[in-house]
C-alpha cells in the first residue's frame, strides 16, 4: 500500500508541476502578444532621429491647432567636406533651418553668426542625430552657419530686405 501511495503522490506532484508550467507559458505568451499589439498600434518613430530646438515649431500650438501660416524649411547638408549648398538666400522673417548631418563626426557644433561675427545661436549635435532643425526669425543681412571644429565648413545665409508675403 505504501508503493501505491508513493505513485499517487508522485502523480499529483507531476500534475501540479505541469499545470504550473502551462500557466507560466500562457502568461509569457499573453505578455508577448500584448507587447506586439502595443508596438503595432503605436506611432512609428522616424528611422533617423531628428533633433529640434526646445521651442515649438512656428505655426503650431501645444494643442496641435495651427496659429500661423506654415513656415518655410531651408535645408543644407553637412558632409565630410562641409556644407552643401554653401549659399542660401531667404526673405526676412521666420523660417526653419534644417541641417542634415552626414559628416560622420562624433559630434558637431553648429554655430550661426551675423556679419560682424557675433554668435547668435550654437548647438551641439551628436552623430546619432541625422538631422537638426532650428526655428529662426532673422532680419535682412548676411549670416554664416559654421561648424566650430572646421573653419572652412561654412554656409553663407543671405536674408533679403522684405518679408515674405502670404
For the chain, percent of residues with pLDDT exceeding 90 = 42
Q: What is the domain partition of the chain in residue ranges?
A: 1-44, 50-163
Question: What pLDDT digit, counting tens, does each position of 139-158 carry?
Answer: 999 999 999 999 999 999 99
- Provide the pLDDT for residue 144: 96
- Mean pLDDT, the chain, whole residue set: 77
Q: How confident is the model at residue 28 (pLDDT cuts 50, 70, 90)?
A: confident
User: Which top CATH class is 50-163?
Assistant: mainly beta
pTM, two decimals, is 0.58
Q: 3-state secondary structure string, the chain?
A: CHHHHHHHHHHHHHHHHHHHHHHHHHHHHHHHHHHHHHHHHCCCCCCCCEEECCCCCCCCCCCCCCCCCCCEEEEEEEECCEEECCEEEEEEEEEEEEEEECCCCCEEEEEEEECCCCEEEEEEEECCCCEEEEEEEECCEEEEEEECCEEEEEEEEEEEEEECCC
Residue 40's pLDDT band (cuts 50, 70, 90) = low
Q: Give the pLDDT band of residue 97 (cuts 50, 70, 90).
A: very high
pLDDT tens for each residue of 101-135: 999 899 999 999 999 999 999 999 998 888 999 99
Model pLDDT for residues 50-67, shown as the tens digit of each residue: 444 433 333 343 444 444
pLDDT value for 48:
42
Amino acid at each position: 500500500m505504501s508503493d501505491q501511495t508513493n505513485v499517487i503522490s508522485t502523480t499529483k506532484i507531476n500534475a501540479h508541476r505541469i499545470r504550473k508550467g502551462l500557466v507560466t507559458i500562457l502568461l509569457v505568451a499573453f505578455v508577448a502578444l500584448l507587447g506586439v499589439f502595443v508596438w503595432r498600434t503605436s506611432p512609428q518613430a522616424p528611422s533617423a532621429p531628428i533633433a529640434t530646438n526646445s521651442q515649438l515649431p512656428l505655426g503650431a500650438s501645444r494643442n496641435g491647432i495651427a496659429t500661423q501660416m506654415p513656415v518655410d524649411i531651408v535645408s543644407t547638408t553637412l558632409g565630410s567636406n562641409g556644407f552643401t549648398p554653401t549659399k542660401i538666400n531667404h526673405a526676412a522673417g521666420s523660417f526653419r533651418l534644417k541641417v542634415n548631418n552626414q559628416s560622420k563626426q562624433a559630434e558637431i557644433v553648429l554655430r550661426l553668426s551675423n556679419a560682424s561675427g557675433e554668435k547668435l545661436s550654437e548647438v551641439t549635435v551628436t552623430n546619432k542625430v541625422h538631422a537638426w532643425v532650428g526655428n529662426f526669425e532673422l532680419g535682412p543681412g548676411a549670416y554664416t552657419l559654421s561648424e566650430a571644429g572646421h573653419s572652412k565648413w561654412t554656409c553663407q545665409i543671405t536674408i533679403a530686405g522684405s518679408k515674405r508675403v502670404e
